[in-house]
Amino acid sequence: MQLSSKTWTAAFSFLLRRNCYISSSSSVSAPLLLRPLRPLLLHRSNHAMVPHPKDDAYLDTVIPKRIKLFEAIQAQQRAHLQITLPGGQEKEGKRWITSPFDIAREISKSLASNALISEVNGVLWDMNRPLEGDCTLKIFKFEDDVGRDTFWHSSAHILGQALEVEYGCKLCIGPCTTRGEGFYYDAFYGDLGLNDEHFKEIVSAAEKGVKGKQPFERIEVSREQALEIFSDNQFKVEIINDLPADKTITVYRCGPLVDLCRGPHIPNTSFVKAFACLKASSAYWRGNKDRESLQRVYGISYPDKKSLQLYIQRLEEAKKYDHRLLGTKQELFFCHPLSPGSWFFLPNGARIYKKLMAFIQNQYIERGYHEVISPNVYNMQLWETSGHAANYKENMFWFLRVRSYRELPLRLADFGVLHRNEASGALTGLTRVRRFQQDDAHIFCRESQVKDEVKGVLEFIQYTYDIFGFTFDLKLSTRPEKYLGDVATWEKAEAALTEALNESGKPWQLNEGDGAFYGPKIDISVSDALNRKFQCATLQLDFQLPTRFELYYSAEGEEGKRETPVMIHRAILGFVERMFAILLEHYKGKWPFWLSPRQAIVCPVSDKSQPYALEVRDRIHKAGYYVDVDTSDRTIQKKVREAQIAQYNYILVVGEEEVKTGQVSLRVRDKGDVTVMSMENLLQHFKAEVEAFH
C-alpha cells in the first residue's frame, strides 16, 4: 500500500493530538506518554512502512533531557530577579511570579494597603502584574501625581460601569481630567438626557462596584479579538481601527465592565472609599461638532470620605470667586454671541491686561530679550514644513536672516494674537477661548548654551510666580509616540533638560511620553490660593524645527562653516486671558495694588472739599496711578462702603481739615484704621508698593 504525503501528514497529526500530551507538571514520564505512538513512528523508504530505528532512544533520552534542562533553566531564571528600589535598596523575587504588590507587602503593611500603582523600568505597571525581569521599581500612593491620576482613571471605569449598567449607554472614553482633579466618562445615550437628578442612581451603582472589591484584570488581545469584544459599540470599534498596526491592545475587566484601555489601574475598587458625581454636560465624539452628540459625566473620588468633604467645600468656595462672576461684578470683561470665545475687555479689565503684558515686557529688557511683532496669518506651507499642520499644533514664530555665533543666544519675544477654532461647547470663560494673546518667545542658541538658557527661563518663571504668590511643580515630558527626528537627537535633548533641572535645585518628576512632537519639554503646573493646579508656563527644547526650516548661523573658527542652532520655545504667563482668569480667582477679586485697575478713590466729605478732592485726584493721576473721585451727594459713610465693595485698594477721605493741611486721610481696603498722610508721603508709599509688587 502506498500513501500520499498529504495522507501521511493528516494521519500523523491526528494520532499525535489524540494519543500524546506532554506536560512538565505531570507526574507521568514523557516516554510513557509517547509509548502508544511508537509503532506509528515510521519513516518512508521507497514508500515502504518500517519502524524508525532510533525511535526508542530518541524518546527515552533526548526529549526528557530537553525538558529537564528547560525546567532547570526556568527555575533558575525565576529565582534570580533583582529589584532595585529608589535610594538603591535591592530586593529579590521570581520572574513571572513576584509582583510589585509582593514587594510593597514585604516593605511594610502600610505601603501595601496604600500602594496604587508602580513603575517598572520607567513604565507604569499594575500592582498585581508579575515582574518579567531585573528592574527598577517605584511604588506610588495617592499623594503622588502618578498614583492620584491612576486612582482617578480607575474611578472613571467605576463610573463607566455604573452608567452602562444603569442606562445601557455606549461608552466612549473615560480618562482622568488632564492636569485637573477627578475624571469623566463620555457616552452615547440616544434620547436620554442626563441631569443632576440622575446622580444619586449613578453614585449608588458605583458604590456597589466599590463594595464588591472588584479587581482590575488585564489581558492583551489581537485586533480581531478586540473588534469581536466591542462589535456592538461603534465608538470602540473606531478607536481600535485607528490604532497603529504594531500597537499592543489591552482590555481590562472590572466586575461587569469590560473596557478597551491601555491601563494601568489600581489593584481593586475597594481603594475608592468616597465617590461623587459633579456635573453632566454635552460633548461631541472626538470633539467634532459634525459627529455624534454625547453626554459627559464628571466625577471625583478619594481614598477617604474626609478628603471628599474638603474637596466639596473647596469647590463651593471656588464658585463664589468664579472669574466670570467677578469679571462681571467688577466690570472687567464680557463676551458676546457675535464673537464667541473672543472676549471684550472693558477699561478696568484692559488696565490689568496691559499691566500683565508690561510686567513681562519690562522683564524682557532686564533679561536680554528682543521683542518682535509677527503676522497673524501665514501660508499653509509654513505649517506643513514645521509639522504643525499634520499634528494639529499651534503657531510658531520664525525668521530668515544670517546670524553669527557671536549673536547667540538670540532671545526673540512676541505677544502675538492667536486664533484657535475651538468647538463652541468647549469654550469656558477666559480659560478656553478662540482669540488669545500669548507671551511667546523663542531662544536660538548653541548646544553648549542650552543648559544656561534653560536655567535662565526657570529662574524667570520662579521670579514671576513668586510675585503672583503661586507655588509650582516641574515635570520633564519626554518623547511621545508620534515625533519628528531620530531617537539619538531626542535623547540628547532630554539629557540637556535633565541636567538643567538637576542644577536648578528644584524637585521635578518624569512624565514619560508627553513631550511635544518636535522636542521634549518641561511642564510647569502652578497651584493657586484655592489649591487648584493650572498649566501656564512651558519650556520646550527643539532640535527639529531649526533643521526643517534650514536655520543656521556662521560657526566659530572655519570660514564659511554653518551650524544649526537649537531653539527653546517658552512662555511665562501662557496666554494672557487664561492667566487673567486664574489671577482673578486666586486673589478672589482683591487685586494687589501694583496690578489693580482701581488703585485709589478720593471721597470728599462735602461739596466744600470737592475742589480739593479733584486736585488730589489729578496729582495722583499725573504720578501714573489709577484713581477715581466720588462726587456724588451720598454720605461719606456710603461713599466709603461703596468703595470697599468695588475693591479700591486705598480710600482717600478729604474734608475741611485735609483741605487746610494739604493732607489726606487714608483707609486701606478691608481695614478700619485711618492714617493721615501728606501728598508727598502718599505718592512715595504708592511707588514703594508698586516696586515691591504689593
pLDDT in tens, 128-186: 999 998 999 999 999 988 899 999 999 999 999 999 999 999 999 999 886 568 999 99
Average pLDDT on 549-568 reads 82
CA distance 331 to 308: 34
How high does pLDDT run on average in the chain? 84
The answer to whether residue 270 scores a pLDDT higher than 80 is: yes
Longest CA pairwise span in the chain (Å): 135
Can you say whether the dihedral through the CA atoms of 658, 659, 663, 667 is positive or negative? positive
The answer to whether residue 18 scores a pLDDT higher than 70 is: no
Q: Note the pLDDT of residue 558.
A: 67
* Residues 29/21, Cβ–Cβ less than 8 Å: no
Q: Note the pLDDT of residue 168.
A: 92
Q: Note the pLDDT of residue 55.
A: 60
Q: Give buried/exposed letters for 616-645 (b at 16+ CB in 10 A, else e).
A: bbeebeeeebbbbbbeeeeebeebbebbee
Query: How is the chain split into domains, by residue range?
Result: 5-79, 83-140, 145-320, 338-371+403-586, 600-691
Residue where the block lists cell 525538558: 67
Kindly report the backbone phi and psi dihedral angles of residue 461, in degrees, each rounded to the nearest multiple of 5, phi listed first: -65, -45
Q: How many CB atoms lie within 10 A of CB 218?
A: 17
Helix axes 450-468, 347-367, angle to 10 degrees: 150
Kindly report the backbone phi and psi dihedral angles of residue 580, in degrees, each rounded to the nearest multiple of 5, phi listed first: -55, -50
- pLDDT above 90 covers what percent of the chain? 46
pTM here is 0.66
Q: Report CA-CA distances (Å) from 293 to 191, 523, 634.
A: 10, 33, 55
pLDDT, tens only, 99-110: 999 999 999 999
Residue 248 grid cell: 499592543
* Architecture field, domain 83-140: Roll (3.10)
145-320: CATH, from 3.40.640.10, 3.30.980.10, 3.40.50.150, 3.90.380.10 = 3.30.980.10
The answer to whether residue 232 scores a pLDDT higher than 70 is: yes
CA distance 553 to 561: 9
Q: Note the pLDDT of residue 59.
A: 65
Contacts of 99 (CB under 8 A, 6+ apart): 127, 128, 129, 130, 131
Contacts of 190 (CB under 8 A, 6+ apart): 169
In 492-564, DSSP assigns E strands to 508-511, 521-527, 533-542, 553-554, 562-563
pLDDT, tens only, 573-602: 988 888 888 999 899 999 999 999 999 999
Q: Does domain 600-691 have CATH number 3.40.50.800?
A: yes
CA distance 269 to 27: 40
Banded pLDDT at 16 (limits 50, 70, 90): very low
Of 6-10, 356-360, 371-375, least confident by mean pLDDT is 6-10
Average pLDDT on 40-69 reads 60
Q: Are strands 600-604 and 650-654 parallel, antiparallel or unpaired?
A: parallel
Which H or E run contains 240?
Answer: helix 234-242
Helix axes 487-504, 450-468, angle to 10 degrees: 50
pLDDT, tens only, 253-269: 999 999 999 989 999 99
Of 68-72, 642-646, 650-654, least confident by mean pLDDT is 68-72
Number of H helices, E strands in the chain: 23, 32
338-371+403-586: CATH, from 3.40.980.10, 2.60.40.10, 2.60.40.740, 3.30.930.10 = 3.30.930.10
